[in-house]
Each structure stands twice: as C-alpha cells, then as structure tokens.
Structure 1
Amino acid sequence: MNIRKIIFLCLALCFTITLSAQNADINTLKTINGWHIHGVSRGLSASGIILPVGIPTAMGIYALIKKDQPLLKDAVYIGTSVIEAVGITYATKHIVGRDRPFVKYPDKIHAYGAPDADSPSFPSGHTAAAFSLATSLSITYPKWYVIAPSAVWACGVGVARMNQGVHYPSDVLTGAAIGVGCAFANVYINRWLNKVLFGDK
C-alpha cells in the first residue's frame, strides 16, 4: 500500500470519527433539550453566574470585616479560580467561534432563555464557572456536605445549559474540565499569590 492510500485512509477515518462524534453531540442535546424542566433550568443557569461571583465576594467581605486572614486567603483562592476559568473559557469561545446549537440546528433545537445568537458556544462559561467554584470549595473544605451538594449543583448547571438549547454536550464537558483544571492549578498559583498578597514564606 503506497503512502497516498495510507494518508487517504487516515483522513477518511478521522472524518468518520468526527462525524460520529458530531452526531452523538447533537442527538444527545436534542434529547436533553426536550426534557420539560425549563423553569428549573432557568434558575440553575442564573445560579451559574450568581454563586461563582457571590460566594467568594461574600467570603472576602466577611473576612475583611472580621480581619480573618485564613478566610480571606480561601476567598482569594476560590475567586481567582473562577476568574481564571471564565477568562480561559471566553478566550477559547472567541478563538473557536462555534455557533450556538439553536442557531446551527433551528429545526432540531429550541432555545429557552437563549443568549445573543452571535455569542459563541464552545465551551460553556456557566459550566466552567460552576465547576471551578464547586471544585475549589471542595478542595478548601473537603467535607462530604460540601463536596456532594457542590458536585450535584455544578452538574445541574451543565444540564440546564443543554436543556435551554444553548450548549452542546461537548461545550459543557469542556467547560467542566476547564473549571476543574483551574481549581487544581490554582492551588499552586495561590502559593505564589499568597506570598505577594500576605507575605507568606
């Protein structure tokens, strides 16, 4: 078999795998989009912005009032984890430029509480923020009563974004990976940040 045939077969295989993945992506989304939980999804989706901003902000304000430096360090760690996840997500959105599913497949996907159609889809910013918050809270306070509700809530935000028709499953999974990754990476980044902000050695 000559080199041209090998290259052709490799390209054909890659195309087939990509097409299969795209079909699975849209078919899974179509199923989730049809679930009649759109009212719950609106609330979960809103919480994917409110809680990642509100929780570390409230922690930081309380820590400053009480002069509680350990709590302030926790607030900085959690807050910067969320900021990093959202920053990476929105940079990626504008580099990739993927259309929203309700724009790409208007005959299959219905938008419920949809964002601007010009806003890119990949990856999910709400999901990245939710998983960053959930993971950083779980690392900071490793108790089952923090970990379990945080994980359920973050997964709920991801499902809500698909139920609303604004993200593909691949958008949500990538957003979740970014959020979790930023929370873990920020453990090490904050060691340096604590030296700068708090004079830690």
Structure 2
Amino acid sequence: MNLKWSMLPFLLAPALFAAPAPEPDSQESKNKPFSIIYHPFQGLWDNSLAVFSLENTLYYHLPSVASTTLLVQTNWDYDYQLFSQKNNLMPKTVSQGMLDAGWYMPLVLPAAVYGWGFAWGDSSWQMHGASALQALGLTGGFTMALKSLTGRRGPDKDLANPGTTSSSFRRTTDAADFQFEFWKNFERGDGRFFWPSGHTSSTFALAASFTATTRSWVVGVLSYGLATTMGYAMIDGDHHWLSDVISGALLGHVVGWTVGTSFRNRDQPVKAGSWRLTPMTGFGYTGIGAAWYF
C-alpha cells in the first residue's frame, strides 16, 4: 500500500465541512451529548425503493446501461483504456493510493462525522453522517448485486501486449466479456466482478449525500471533485473500464442524492401546492401513494 497517496482523501476531507451548513428548521442543532437524533436506518426501506423511482430509472439507471452498451459496442471502452495505458496521465503511485484509500475512506469519513455529531449532540452533523452511512450501505449492496449478476472481467493491464503483466485474477482484452450467470461469478480468481466500479459508486454516493444534506456548493465542488478523481484513478490504474466508472458514478449519485434529500427533508414543513410520491408496502400489496398538500 502506498501510504503517502492513500492518505490524500483524508487530507482533503476536512475541507468538505469548511462551509457552514444550513440547519434543519424544526429543531435546534445542539442537543444533549450522546443523544440520537438521526441514525443510519431511518427511512431505509422507503429510500431503497425511491432509488428506483420512475424518474431515477429514466435519468440514471437506463443511461447507465445505455452508456455501457454504447462504449462496448463502439469499442470506445477498449480504445480509451489503451489510450490511458499509453499516456499515463496520472502517476501510478497516485492511482494505487486512491485504490487503497477507497477500501476504507468511504466508511471512515461518514462514521467520523456521525460520531462527532453523536458525541456533541449536534443534529446537523448526525444528519450528514447518518445519511452518508445509509447511502454507502445501499450503494454497496446494489453495486455488489450488479457485479455478481453481470460477471464482467476487468481490462488487461497491458492491452498492447496482453498476458504479459501479472494479476491476482483473470483479466481480458475484450470489453464485452460479461457473464450473466451469477451463480458462477463468485470465484475471485475468475475476476468477474468489475461492473460497476465500487470505488467510484461509493465515493459518488458520499459526494451526493453530503451535498444534498449540507446544500453547500463548496462541499459539492470538493466532494464531487474527489469522487471524480477516484473514478479517473480507477481507469488510469487499469482497475476498471471507462464504462465501469461511468455506471458507478451514476449509481452512486442517484443513491446518495435520494438518501441525502430524504434526510434533509425529514423535518422540513411541506409547502402548500406541492405533491409527493411515496413507496408503500403491506401484506399482499406493493404500490405508490400520491399526496397533494394544500
């Protein structure tokens, strides 16, 4: 592990909360220390369903599949990977450091934010941390499900001279190397777990969640900038195809924004003339409830 570069996200992370965040309207920001105002399981079921709303499906999930199909069928996935390998726009130490940090940074950062809010009774920080933890959990679950269902192999580390570099699992020169047999896709050595990129989806989920709850453009610029850097590191370090990263970014954003907005709106009064759609489940039925406020 390259410790120097793997610490980069942690050095940048404190700046995410440099700008003051708006506080929820219906309660004071400060409460008794060690009191729970928000927790990561609030609205979990409703939020997990809302991620796949018609709007999110049209704007994020379908474009994710469409972009992957386009990049694979046009051979742009392969061409860009080859371009990246020839030009090395990012030093390998940086891309490897980002990969290393991506295993633990997405969990440590929101846990620290939530822990701070819990210890000091700060509802605002609890909201940021709880929302991010829930977004991270949902994103991780959806990402792993898609990885096992699609069974895609990662790019060979030297497409111009395939098979000449070592790897702990099988790689491919064929960007279309998917295997839609999930019961066969769990063996690590076979390397069928690349679509979408989990490092990218998790960092974009945090960026979207933090931006949605803080409503701060400073947080948005810094967090999405960090997430974009993570995504590019996955390509430049030959850890993922371009389409893996694009799909991971779309998935992470839609989950993080949906969850973050839900937490942010929990204590906000509903404006007259607005309407909401809410997922509903019960014994023997599943549906969507519509409400108009006046």
Q: TM-score, normalised by structure 1?
A: 0.76
Higher strand share: 2
Q: Residues 18, 156 of structure 1: CA spacing in aligned structure 2 closer, same or farther, 3 A cutoff?
A: closer
Count matched residues: 178
Q: Provide the C-alpha distance between the structure 2 equivalents of 1:33 and 1:53, rounded to a whole number of angstroms.
A: 30
What does the per-residue CA deviation read over 1:23-79, in whole Å, with 9 as the maximum and x for residues that have no partner?
Answer: 110110111233051111112222323321111100111122112233212211111
Q: Which runs of 4+ in 1 moved over 6 A?
A: 109-115, 191-194
Q: How does 1:2-81 map to 2 (within 5 A)?
A: 21-34=73-86, 35=88, 37-81=91-135
Distance 1:79 1:106, change over 3 A: farther
Contact 1:162 1:169 in 2 (8 A): yes
Distance in structure 1 (CA, Å) of the matches to 2:126 and 2:137: 16
Find the counterpart in structure 1 of residue 232 from structure 2. 159
Q: State which drifts further: 173-182 or 60-69.
A: 60-69
Go from structure 1 to structure 2 and tell me whether the alpha carbon gap of 1:111 and 1:50 turns closer, same or farther (over 3 Å shift).
farther
Overall identity of the aligned pairs, in % = 24
Alignment match of 1:172 (pick from 219, 239, 245):
245
Contact 1:102/1:165, CA 8 A, preserved across alignment: yes
CA–CA separation in structure 2 for the residues paired with 1:65 and 1:57: 12
Q: TM-score, normalised by structure 2?
A: 0.53
User: Which consecutive residues of structure 1, in runs of 5 or more, have no partner in the other structure?
Assistant: 1-16, 195-201
Separation of aligned partners in 1, 2:163 and 2:215: 39
Structure 2: any 5+ residue segments left out of the alignment? Answer: 1-68, 170-187, 268-294
User: Superposition RMSD on alpha carbons, in Å?
Assistant: 3.1
Contact 2:135–2:256 under 8 Å retained in 1: yes
